[in-house]
Amino acid sequence: MAKRKITKAAPTAKAEDLQRDTSDGMEQQLTTAQGLPIDDNQNSLKAGVRGPSLLEDHILRDKITHFDHERIPERVVHARGSGAHGYFQVYEPLAKWTKAGFLNEPARRTPVFVRFSTVAGFRGSTDLPRDVRGFAVKFYTEEGIYDLVGNNMPVFFIQDAIKFPDLVHSVKPEAHNEMPQAASAHETFWDFISLMPESMHTIMWLMSDRAIPRSLRMMEGFGVHTFRFINEEGESCFVKFHWKPLLGVHSVAWDEATKISGKDPDFHRRDLWEAIENGDFPEWELGVQIVSAKDEHKFPFDLLDPTKLIPEELVPVQRVGKMTLNRNPVNFFAETEQVAFHPGHLVPGIDLSNDPLLQGRLFSYIDTQLTRLGGPNFNELPINRPLAPVHNNQRDGHMRHTIDKRHINYEPNTLGGGCPYQASMASGGFTSFPEPMEDMKIRAKSEKFMDHFSQAKLFYNSQSKPERNHLINALRFELAKVDTASVRERMIGMLAYVDGDLAHSVAEAFGIPVPEVKLPLNHSIPADTPPEDVQPYDAEPLVKRSKALSMADTIKDNIHTRRVAILADADGAPQAKTLKAALQREGAMVKVIAPVMHPDADHTLMTTPSVVFDAIAVVGSQPWEDLPDAQDFVRDAFRHCKAIALIGGADALFKVWGMPDALKAPGVLIGSTDKVLVKDFIQAIAAHRHWAREKDPVTGKKG
């Protein structure tokens, strides 16, 4: 074998180099983990060219040993996630409520890392299951790390952390056969839920279109729990956190979601990545709902109950700052996989409440990192490291990075000059709000926690007609995947406590009347209650409908970053080009799709279905109807209620399929690429979806 010239590795002479944690791999020769240059990365060391490999091959073992340990345990929940870097800036100082530095200096850009996730699926599962989405934000503030570990839904399934393992076991794939992946549509989940009336509000959210977002960039975020703000004077108020996306809140259709899962399971991850690479930086405004200490008990629900939201009509959301995501991670594992969030990562000015779900979380997150990241030093990984300096007497442990230069590792001390010394409140030391406490030790909940249905009703009543239809069909779908009739029936009976029509519409799909069910005697109802006395306790809602709970009136005035496909063969290319340019001027991301690649085409039909686009145009009169992929392309776009422009004879398509009515359906435009059509098409895309086209899958009736 020809001898290669070896360039010597640069000596790592400087002490600070020992603390390096990144490697760009550029113009560097290959070495072992110990820095030994490797002469042959193709062949293991053998006893002769046809002989066995030698145990002595330390280079082979160095490589394979590391490879064998490349995986760490995935998160028990939220295993599937996508992350991005960015920054947060407050608009005006919030000093009257909080002393948190990053919420008081408009000039300060606080770096953030955000990880979005699904909950139930494994790490490699699809981005588009029906599921809650995690929305976790790590703020690298000057006062240390602050983590806002929220979801895209403002409420949670259970009221007390002690039920979390039960909830998660029920929704994860079933224990005997590990099916289904990333789906709540199976019977252990619905068995559990039908016995947990407190979950009914979150179930409304989970069955709604919120659970199948169009994009991570088009989701709201919520801190869920009530937290506390504390100002310089030591005064405290309650706060609920919101993230409001500047692109509006949008979702896909359920049939579309299932198809995307097959065609591009990385749909959300890709969408986020591409938007950031293209410079279309996703933005959210941070919103706060503030409740003064004196108003703590004025609502019919308990502020500490995580199954309740505060209707925006009662307490408006004040937009106080903006988060921009402008940088993709360089390495998925080092950043998105190793990032470790914890609701107990707080800064002075923000404190916890006694919400029993939050209290349990405070234990769970550190505990899980010990297993996942291998020990107590996970805070030293680059993605978790605070920008604020860290000085304490915590030492050693698995994978310690810091080389502590002082041997004085206790406090109080004189040998180390008393350092590190305790910070006073005046110098920024964290102090908990001194909430008065005196009560008996008890396993119970406050009475207001027993109100399980009033906000489930509020949510259902606040949905537009198409949104309600989607919710009904989601329940029909999910319960059809339940094999045990008694579980399904109990669940339908439970729905009747939310809304009679809802329960009836779901029951209709199973050909049964709405079963009458007694509320289950679970731990949220006192155990000595006789069954005949178990009545739903419904607080009188102060608001009957809340506009903010529906997506119908979200932002729909632009097509910025919307994905549009133009189906065009070589003959239609000139028209496709004109249309593409016009849509791009409005900020859309446009791709030309062709049956056979041509110079103006970006993708072929075979690899590119319409489900990964927001709108389609078909150009030219070629017999598209003969091509099976083209048929699915157009039919899916029609079924999923997307804007469709048929240009230059393409309208023949629907006629050939015996769907002449489709040509008159809302959102379907016919014409040439003249200005009028382009203008109408842009408007139709901005409207997001034309739900009026939908038919009920059970009755076949419109809307």
Q: Which residues are catalytic?
A: 78, 151
Nearest residue (CB) to ligand HDD, 134 versus 541: 134
Closest to ligand HDD by CB, 110 vs 159, is: 159
Tokens standing for 32?
């072992």
Q: Which is nearer to ligand HDD, 170 or 673 (CB)?
A: 170
First to last CA, the chain: 74
Determine contact, residues 81/117, Cβ cutoff 8 Å: yes
For 517, residues 6+ apart whose C-beta sits below 8 A from its C-beta are 489, 490, 493, 494, 496
Dihedral, CA of residue 559, residue 563, residue 569 and residue 571, to nearest 10: 20
Q: Least distance from C-beta 489 to ligand HDD, angstroms?
A: 29
Closest distance to ligand HDD from the beta carbon of 225 (Å):
6
Instruction: Tell me if 415 sits within 8 A of 408, measured CB to CB.
Output: yes
Minimal distance in Å, beta carbon 168 to ligand HDD?
Answer: 8
- In the bound state with ligand HDD, the residue whose beta carbon lies nearer, of 155 and 634, is 155
Question: Cβ(500)–Cβ(453) under 8 Å?
Answer: no
Q: Is 459 left (phi over 0), alpha (psi -120 to 50) or beta?
A: alpha
Q: How far is the CB of 337 from ligand HDD (least distance, A)?
A: 9
Kindly tell me which of 340 and 564 has the beta carbon lying closer to ligand HDD. 340
Give the Cα separation of 562 and 592 in Å (integer).
14
Tell me the DSSP string of 446-500: -GGGGB-SHHHHHHHHHS-HHHHHHHHHHHHHHHHT---HHHHHHHHHHHTTT-H
What is the per-residue DSSP string for 649-683?
STTHHHHHTT-GGGGGSTTEEEE-SSHHHHHHHHH
Cβ-based nearer residue to ligand HDD, 133 or 457:
133
Please, which residues bridge with residue 137 across strands?
Answer: 114, 148
Q: How far is the CB of 134 from ligand HDD (least distance, A)?
A: 3
Considering the complex, what minimum distance in angstroms separates the CB of residue 250 from ligand HDD? 21
Q: Least separation, in Å, of the C-beta of 113 and ligand HDD?
A: 10
Cβ contact 598:627 at 8 Å: no
603-604 β-sheet, strand order:
603-604, 589-594, 563-568, 615-619, 643-647, 668-671
Cβ proximity to ligand HDD: between 117 and 236 the closer is 117
State the amino acid at position 500 in one-letter form: G
Return d(Cα 130, Cα 132) in angstroms, integer: 7
- In DSSP terms, which residues pair with 646 in a beta bridge? 618, 670
Q: Compare residues 361 and 640 and give the one whose CB is closer to ligand HDD.
A: 361
- Closest approach, Cβ 148 to ligand HDD, in A, equals 9
Binding site for ligand HDD (CB under 6 A): 75-78, 81, 115, 117, 134, 136, 149-151, 156, 161, 164, 224-225, 306, 339-341, 357, 360-361, 364-365, 368
Q: How far apart are CA 190 and CA 171, in angstroms?
A: 8
SS3 (DSSP) at 256: helix
Amino acid, res. 172? K
**Cis peptide before 420, with omega less than 30 degrees from 0?**
yes
